[in-house]
Amino acid sequence: MKLTDTVVRNFRVAKVFKENNDKINSIDFSSNGETLISSSDDDSIVIYDCQNGAPKRTLNSKKYGVDLIHYTHATNTAVHSSTKVDDTIRYLSLHDNKYIRYFQGHTAKVVTLCMSPIDDTFLSGSLDKTIRLWDLRSPNCQGLMHLPGRPVAGFDPEGLIFAAGINSEYLKLYDLRSFDKGPFATFKLQQDKDCDWTGLKFSPDGKLILISTNGQVVRLIDAFQGTPLQTFMGQTNHKGIALEASFSPDSQFVFSGATDGKVHCWNTETGAKVGILNGDHQGPVTCVQFNPKYMMLATCCNSMGFWLPQVDE
């Protein structure tokens, strides 16, 4: 089945899970698409089975809190940021709910965390105006960049370069092998007066960069030239919250949540709005991601929704 405008418009919520009693703050699919991990403001981590559409396990991180959860390359381990005690990043064995390693160094809230698509390195960015590069095998920071403002960051699909968005105005591209030499490209973008950048993702084909904000705008940028391609608007965000936007696996569509509980979808090539999906979310849709291998979408507020395309009989 191929993703088309019609297929996207026919997505419906197949299952709703009410495992959490507070906002789900981040989600991540395993690379094989078989499981989904979520973290919540209620300090719990829930793992879902995507094939059977059922929760598999719930782990708790009551002491440190949990946010920005990501699978590592082994689906039985994850990294996450903390919401309590300190701003340490924690490397967790999901198999026995024990911490394998702590990554200390940030002195303010970690606002961006991303795993390399190819190896054990990961990036973190914090309100302390730094981006740090880490390796899962060592507690020591592998690289440190001081920035003039709040960062967002993301790896390209090859894992060779990463992009950092700084101060909601500059996009800088770094080569991972020599990032201490500074960016090999810097693009200045028009600043949005009433919102900040809160997320940055490369498209799965590596050609586009998606910048999500805590306002009513999502930007699509050419990953090579830094030129603005599309500005996606129309989704309500009256609360100044960071709403996730994500690509479909074929890079042709972008999905974003809205504070009125709906999910908006656009075509990356034309910029046209494909549809507004209503999943009966009671609160703002903070997370939205497309499964990398299966035809399913996950969206969250305090509850988790699994979407499948409705096939006409």
Distance CA 202, CA 246 (A): 9
**Percentage of residues of the chain with pLDDT beyond 70:** 99
Question: Mean pLDDT across the stretch 63-78?
Answer: 87
The domains of the chain, with CATH numbers, are: 12-307 (2.130.10.10)
Whether residue 313 has pLDDT greater than 50: no
pTM for the predicted model, two decimal places:
0.92
The HSE-up count of residue 192 (CA atoms within 13 Å, CB side) is 18
Whether residue 116 has pLDDT greater than 90: yes
Residues 6+ apart with CB under 8 A from 67: 25, 26, 39, 41, 80, 81, 82, 83, 110
DSSP conformation class of 118? S
Higher model confidence: residue 242 or residue 287?
A: 287
Question: Mean pLDDT across the stretch 127-132?
Answer: 93
| In contact, 163 and 176? CB cutoff 8 Å | no
Rounded to the nearest integer, the mean pLDDT of the chain is 91
Distance CA 226, CA 245 (A): 19
168 closest CA partner among 135, 199, 196: 196
Residue 23: helix, strand or coil by DSSP? coil
The HSE-up count of residue 195 (CA atoms within 13 Å, CB side) is 21
Residues 6+ apart with CB under 8 A from 245: 199, 201, 210, 212, 218, 232, 254, 255, 256, 257, 288
Distance CA 41, CA 192 (A): 28
Q: Which amino acid is at 123?
A: L
214 closest CA partner among 248, 192, 183, 237: 237
The dihedrals phi and psi of 5, each to the nearest 5 degrees, come to -55, -45
Kindly report, residue by residue over 195-226, the tens digit of the pLDDT: 889 999 999 999 999 999 988 899 999 999 99
The dihedrals phi and psi of 292, each to the nearest 5 degrees, come to -70, -20
Distance CA 310, CA 26 (A): 26
Residues 6+ apart with CB under 8 A from 116: 122, 123, 155, 159, 176
Residues 6+ apart with CB under 8 A from 241: 214, 259, 284, 286
Distance CA 253, CA 208 (A): 11
Distance CA 289, CA 62 (A): 26
Distances in Å between the Cα of 159 and the Cα atoms of 183, 195, 307 are 16, 29, 29
135 closest CA partner among 121, 119, 118, 114: 121
Kindly report, residue by residue over 1-31, the tens digit of the pLDDT: 789 999 999 999 999 999 888 899 999 999 9
DSSP string, 40-66: ETTSEEEEEETTTTEEEEEEE-TTT--
Largest CA distance in the chain: 58
| In contact, 209 and 246? CB cutoff 8 Å | no
Kindly report, residue by residue over 244-284, the tens digit of the pLDDT: 999 999 999 999 999 888 999 999 999 999 999 998 888 88
